[in-house]
Amino acid sequence: MRRRTFLTTSALALCGASLRAAAMESSALRTFDSSRNRHPVHFAPVHVSFDRILRTTVGLRPHRDSGFVLKAEPLGEKTVIHNYGHGGAGMSLAWGTGAIAADMALKHKTRRAAVLGCGSPGLTAARQLQRRGFAVTIYAKTVPPETTSNMSLAAFTPTSGLVDASRRTPAWDKQFRKATDISYRQLQQLVGRGYGVYWIDQFTATDEPPDALADRPDDGGLLSDILRSSREREILGPGEHPFPTMFAIRTPTLSIEPRLYLDRLVADFRKAGGRIVIRTFDAPQDLLSVPESLIVNCTGLGSATLFNDPELVPVKGQLSLLVPQPEVRYRVSARLDEGEGMTTSVSMNPRSDGIVIGDLQERGSWSLDPSDDVRDRNIVAAMQFFNAMRIAD
């Protein structure tokens, strides 16, 4: 689709959405209570244009319909502990799954371990092993900033693109809940310490009336109340927010800046005596050549071929990074109705290295090439949305 054509279509869609919002306002407000005091938010304008794009990146999430794999199995005289398949929740769950994998390792006499992979799951598993007294070597094809984890949007979203509800088992649920609790505690302890982990207000702009926004957990019952973001959310009504929708849901969100976070994990790992070896493995037999008898497999999508896991499927994500705006200190997402059953998503996340626009959930694509059409659609939708914001002088 041409930019000008989409620009016109999006403008009409946004206008139509505003008219529909006005038409439903009287009935929706009957159930909305705006009397509560709310803490103020400074909504700095977000500048979105094609000439502000710094780069567009692509990452492939390692998804399994039955969820991540966390188990030990023999490989000749060696033991492999699998820790992969986190989908879109790798940054959220890695400290916890790494801790469980490290506890499995304690059952063996050796205190030397190899970790395969240098993304978030590999680095955190390596750190958890070091905390338990292991000497650890990471073997990886790539290291930060070239890992899939570096390409992620990165917030504490432990159920994001993780598991098909029909494929869950009680044993898997138990592992998930333990991993989530550990990860949440660990990430909170890193806030304010230079790891790029921080709290930020997330706003979901919507025209849905408040009675439709009552607590309705979308996590399939996996999360406890303390981990469910909706427990702290506020619904802001007309006049209480600047977005071109009737309502905005404000939720405190634990976010992660991948560049800072992964660099610090690498530094911590090396400081604790860890080694990183650049190496690839094409078949399980290749692992027999490493000196360590205990191997923790955190290869993500690499396990599809290395360990013949046919259930692994890539889910492609694409982000565009714009010129940084340090004054923007809120996240926002929205879904715009284009009419005729078509919708366009808007997603914005501020980081020190730039304003991140867009996302993509393309299942089954192994391509690492950015799509110009996806980029243009994301940028134009964001331009329309943020140009329509009502920013007070």
Asked whether residue 393 is assigned to any structural domain, the reply reads no
* Range with the poorest average pLDDT among 82-91, 175-184, 190-199, 341-350: 341-350
Coil vs helix vs strand at 43? coil
- Helix boundaries (H) for the chain: 3-29, 90-105, 120-131, 170-190, 258-271, 303-306, 372-387
**Through-space distance between the first and last CA atoms of the chain, rounded to whole angstroms:** 35
* pLDDT for residue 292 is more than 50: yes
**Domain end point (choices 296, 311, 326):** 311
- Indicate if the pLDDT at residue 227 is higher than 80: no
Residue at 98 is within a domain: yes
169, part of any domain: yes
Residue 258 has pLDDT above 80, yes or no: yes
Mean pLDDT of the chain: 87
Same domain, yes or no, for 369 and 224? yes
Domain tally, the chain: 2
Q: Are residues 42 and 19 in the same domain?
A: yes
**Is the pLDDT at 283 greater than 70, yes or no?**
yes
Asked if 355 and 236 sit in the same domain, the reply is yes
- Tell whether 124 and 151 lie within a shared domain: yes
3-state helix, strand, coil in the chain (%, to 5): 35, 25, 35
pLDDT band at 15 (very low <50, low <70, confident <90, very high): very low
Give the domain CATH number at 374: 3.30.9.10
pLDDT at 20 over 50: no
Q: With contact defined as beta carbons under 8 Å apart, do 363 and 60 qualify? A: no
Residue 392 lies in a domain: no
- Mean pLDDT for 362-368 is 94
Domain annotation covers residue 94: yes
pLDDT at 195: 97
Q: Are residues 93 and 39 in the same domain?
A: no
Q: What is the pLDDT of residues 229-252, one digit of tens each?
A: 556 788 999 989 999 999 999 999
Q: Answer yes or no: do 145 and 87 share one domain.
A: yes
123: CATH: 3.40.50.720
Domain that holds residue 348: 3-60+197-255+316-387
- In angstroms, how far apart are the furthest CA atoms of the chain? 71
Are 8 and 382 a contacting pair, CB within 8 Å? no
pLDDT reported for residue 220: 66
How confident is the model at residue 210, as a pLDDT? 65
Of the residues 311, 334, 357, which one is the last residue of a structural domain?
311
Q: Which of 34-43, 251-260, 266-275, 301-310 has the lowest mean pLDDT?
A: 34-43
